[in-house]
Structure 1
Amino acid sequence: MTAESTPRKPFAWISRNTVLLALASLFADISTEMLYPILPIFLTQTLHASGSIVGLVDGISQATQNIVQGFSGWLSDKLQRRKPIALVGYFLAAIAKPVIGVAGAWPTVLGARFMDRLGAGLRSAPRDALISSSVAEEHRGKAFGLEGVGDNLGAFLGPLLAVLLLITLAFDIRWIFYIAFFPGLLAFLMVLLVRERPLVVAAKARIDVNLRQFPKAYWTYLLATALFGIGNSSNAFLILQTQEIGASLVTTILIYAGFNLVAALISYPAGFLSDRLGRKGVLLISFLVFLIAYLGFALTRSIYLIALLFVFYGLYQGIFRSVGKAFASDFVPEHLRASGIGWYSTTIGLLELIASIVAGLLWDHVSHEAVFIYGAVFAVVGSAGLLALVPGKAADPSAGAAR
């Protein structure tokens, strides 16, 4: 039988690294999402903080994660090392979780969340570069989709574990933050087992990573992402709105778990379709899902409809996370890949910080519905930007870098 006639196994592209990194994301998100759906409630009910403080804490922490990715991506490319930086990030994120549990006021939560998301930011771009370099280009969307499955499945299991501890085993809410350390440690151990292959960069004694080296198409993609992201505030407001209309703590956590399950289930198919059909169209679908969900949150106060919309919103989460990063990776050459993904994430983080601060002010001083109308408006603007500015397929990034 000839090589051409030998059928290829559908999952032959999966490498040891892609599995380990998907498991790292699984455990890291179990650790994070055990506490994410209870954090707004912990802040408002246990520590008596306002909606503006919730937006500030979550906006700063998420922005820190994404902004630091720009630096960690640059450092990773400059050193041409991914794994050591990722390991530091996973360890910092793990040890920050118990600090939240001992907090007596919201500034301590802010400090601990800052350290947690600092670690998440340090690890993300080098980890994504490891994923990108672990498979051939034609399988890149599937590789990010597999990592997205791990990430979002962890985000599904984390809230369920929190419910088990809070309700079935009657743990105090602060113990959720202490126990979250252990899956975070498992994530660190998964990355410790990753084998990093050396990057080959021809005839360069050092890598000069600067913003001018990125192609024009990469910058137009970031602009479209920014137009969308300025309305993309923290998911904490969806959690607060779900509770505001009358859902119990357990019901809210279970709805949030359903949202993450949908995100996990769609991540791999979305990556697969983006490899086959192109990233732009699949990414546009995620923007439209966001628009529908936010309009629904603005217009209804039915618990059942809100639950359905929140779970439906998981389609956005799963598609945007896997396909958005893969698309950013397409626009840059391999030796700048961590930087390219890092600055993409930095863009998202800066705009999410602005969006979350604005959303907190709208929540406290205008209306809760205004938060979601604001997000819906910029979902329309971002969709128009994606259609008008971004090419359907990236050209060869090594040939198209700006000089």
Structure 2
Amino acid sequence: MPCACFAGLSRNVVLLAVASLFTDISTEMLYPVLPVFLTQMLGASGSILGLMDGCAQATQNIAQGLSGTLSDRVRKRKTIALVGYLLAAFSKPLMGLSTGWMDLFGARMLDRLGTGTRSAPRDALIASSVGEKDRGRAFGFEGAGDNAGAFFGPLLAAFLLSLSQIGIRSIFYLALIPGLLAFCMVLFVKENQEAVATRSRLGAGPEQFPVIYWKYLLVTALFGIGGSSNAFLILRTRDAGVSLATTILIYSAFNLVAALVSYPAGYLSDQWGRRALLLVSFIVFLIAYLGFAVSRNIMLTAGLFVVYGVYQGIARSVGKALAADLVPTDLRATGIGWYSATTGLLQLVASVIAGELWDRVGHAAVFYNGAIFAVTGIIGLLILLPKGTGNGQALSVRRYRG
């Protein structure tokens, strides 16, 4: 049975999943140390930290949309993805070499530019490397690699910092290694030129997207405006009295759950339909956010954070698979890119709103706000996306044009 579950995954999908594992190890190694490095070693204020995170998120989101469109037009998905992997890898040691916050700011923007540049072309490569009936499990497998990297990265950083001869700057230098390993994995990917070039047109663009795709982006926006940064989950966990070290372990456990859920979720979306799985993820999000709003119990808060990983694992893999389902083959990278950009930009807006609520209204207000928009997203999903949307069975975008 396990072999049957993994049937349909191509060599390309495996290589890209391993690449995602390495890239997230590289990125998440810096998660526990970047704020400390910026504020304590480079002397920047908390407002500079917020500015940097906001600009980094915006840079990544814009790059995702633009790189998807570019890769569809020039038909060089692998090449553009490789550029992104290389930029992100070499930005890590550049961060470690920073002597002031402006240096770090520039290196951080380069990192997010690279991450945004590679994402949509990579996802288009995944979509074109499997049959339509296996698309969900392919994105689920890649998502499992990504979330597994997010689990191992902080643990690796914590272990390295426990060694007396390893300082904070060394973490940035060592993060180059998994970044380059990811680049090497993608070198072995074989681009399916026929899948890219079948209907490509120089003038093709977002105006060619079917109506159902725009409805899906609207649902994504309605839900996403309440989905703030996971940093607020971390702060809420600290509110409950959890130590910093334990909070990092809980965060790692959250990523582990997301990794374990991602592939089964993609597999089930191929069998049961993407819409049904997305609905499950929205409901899990709603339950978790309501729980965070009312809970002050350490064990319950920790449990909610880990359960929230179920939402993360489903949404990441199934959301992209559905975006790929709803656009023509020649616009696949563009469609996935603008879906990812919408998700990221709305998270940026949601995080700004959450920050204001956190400071001016109350900590619980962040999560009540997220729950309200989760309900809005659930209603939008049920009304705007017909039952059977993304049924995982030889989907034809012609069905969705009107």
TM-score by length of 1: 0.91
Residue 200 and residue 241 in structure 1: after superposition, are their counterparts in 2 closer, same or farther (change >3 A)?
A: closer
Post-superposition offset of 1:249: 2.8
Residue 200 and residue 180 in structure 1: after superposition, are their counterparts in 2 closer, same or farther (change >3 A)?
A: closer
Whether contact under 8 Å (1:298, 1:373) holds in the other structure is: yes
Question: What is the distance in 1 between the residues matched to 2:94 and 2:363?
Answer: 30
Name the structure 1 match of 2:217: 222
- For residues 205-354 of structure 1, the aligned pairs below 5 Å read 206-354=201-349
Question: What is the distance in 2 between the residues matched to 1:103 and 1:302?
Answer: 40
List gaps (5 residues or longer) in structure 2: none
Name the structure 2 match of 1:96: 91
Post-superposition offset of 1:55: 4.4
Equivalent AA in structure 1 for residue 323 of structure 2:
A
Question: What is the distance in 2 between the residues matched to 1:141 and 1:33?
Answer: 25
Question: What is the distance in 1 between the residues matched to 2:398 and 2:106?
Answer: 41
Task: Work out whether 1:49 is the aligned partner of 2:30.
Answer: no
Task: Work out whether 1:124 is the aligned partner of 2:119.
Answer: yes
Post-superposition offset of 1:321: 0.2
Residue 319 and residue 399 in structure 1: after superposition, are their counterparts in 2 closer, same or farther (change >3 A)?
A: closer
Identity among equivalent positions (%) equals 63
The secondary structure found in structure 2 opposite 1:247 is: coil
Give CA-to-partner distance per residue, 1:158-216, whole Å, 9 cap, x none.
11101211235573333322221211111111111111121357886843222220000
Name the structure 1 match of 2:24: 29
Question: What is the distance in 2 between the residues matched to 1:155 and 1:201?
Answer: 31
Whether contact under 8 Å (2:20, 2:149) holds in the other structure is: yes
Whether contact under 8 Å (2:274, 2:322) holds in the other structure is: yes
TM-score by length of 2: 0.91
The secondary structure found in structure 1 opposite 2:275 is: helix
Aligned alpha-carbon RMSD (Å) = 2.3
Question: What is the distance in 2 between the residues matched to 1:203 and 1:167?
Answer: 53
Name the structure 2 match of 1:368: 363
The secondary structure found in structure 2 opposite 1:70 is: helix
- For residues 1-150 of structure 1, the aligned pairs below 5 Å read 9-40=4-35, 42-43=37-38, 47=43, 49-50=45-46, 53-103=48-98, 106-150=101-145
Residue 175 and residue 202 in structure 1: after superposition, are their counterparts in 2 closer, same or farther (change >3 A)?
A: closer
Post-superposition offset of 1:365: 3.1
Post-superposition offset of 1:385: 1.0
Equivalent AA in structure 1 for residue 347 of structure 2:
E
Whether contact under 8 Å (1:55, 1:234) holds in the other structure is: no
Post-superposition offset of 1:357: 1.7
Deviates more, 1:296-305 or 1:122-131: 296-305
Q: Which of the numbers 144, 159, 168 marks the counterpart of 1:164?
A: 159
The secondary structure found in structure 2 opposite 1:14 is: coil
Post-superposition offset of 1:246: 3.2
Deviates more, 1:86-95 or 1:36-45: 36-45
Post-superposition offset of 1:41: 5.1
Task: Work out whether 1:377 is the aligned partner of 2:375.
Answer: no
Post-superposition offset of 1:308: 1.0
Deviates more, 1:337-346 or 1:102-111: 102-111
Deviates more, 1:356-365 or 1:167-176: 167-176
Question: What is the distance in 1 between the residues matched to 2:197 and 2:399?
Answer: 15
Name the structure 2 match of 1:397: 397
Question: What is the distance in 1 between the residues matched to 2:300 and 2:33?
Answer: 21
- For residues 197-212 of structure 1, the aligned pairs below 5 Å read 197-199=192-194, 206-212=201-207
Task: Work out whether 1:188 is the aligned partner of 2:169.
Answer: no
Question: What is the distance in 1 between the residues matched to 2:253 and 2:106?
Answer: 29
Give CA-to-partner distance per residue, 1:72-91, whole Å, 9 cap, x none.
11001001121000001011
Residue 231 and residue 241 in structure 1: after superposition, are their counterparts in 2 closer, same or farther (change >3 A)?
A: same
Question: What is the distance in 2 between the residues matched to 1:339 and 1:100?
Answer: 30
Residue 223 and residue 203 in structure 1: after superposition, are their counterparts in 2 closer, same or farther (change >3 A)?
A: closer
The secondary structure found in structure 2 opposite 1:35 is: coil
The secondary structure found in structure 2 opposite 1:199 is: helix
Name the structure 2 match of 1:4: none
Give CA-to-partner distance per residue, 1:218-246, whole Å, 9 cap, x none.
00000000011111111122223323443
Deviates more, 1:329-338 or 1:110-119: 110-119
Question: What is the distance in 2 between the residues matched to 1:381 and 1:205?
Answer: 36
Whether contact under 8 Å (1:66, 1:350) holds in the other structure is: yes
Question: What is the distance in 2 between the residues matched to 1:139 and 1:255?
Answer: 32
Equivalent AA in structure 2 for residue 365 of structure 1:
R
Residue 53 and residue 308 in structure 1: after superposition, are their counterparts in 2 closer, same or farther (change >3 A)?
A: farther
Residue 288 and residue 203 in structure 1: after superposition, are their counterparts in 2 closer, same or farther (change >3 A)?
A: closer
Post-superposition offset of 1:373: 2.2
Question: What is the distance in 2 between the residues matched to 1:374 and 1:42?
Answer: 32
Post-superposition offset of 1:58: 2.7
Question: What is the distance in 2 between the residues matched to 1:314 and 1:97?
Answer: 26
Aligned residues: 394
Post-superposition offset of 1:335: 0.8
Question: What is the distance in 2 between the residues matched to 1:358 and 1:238?
Answer: 15
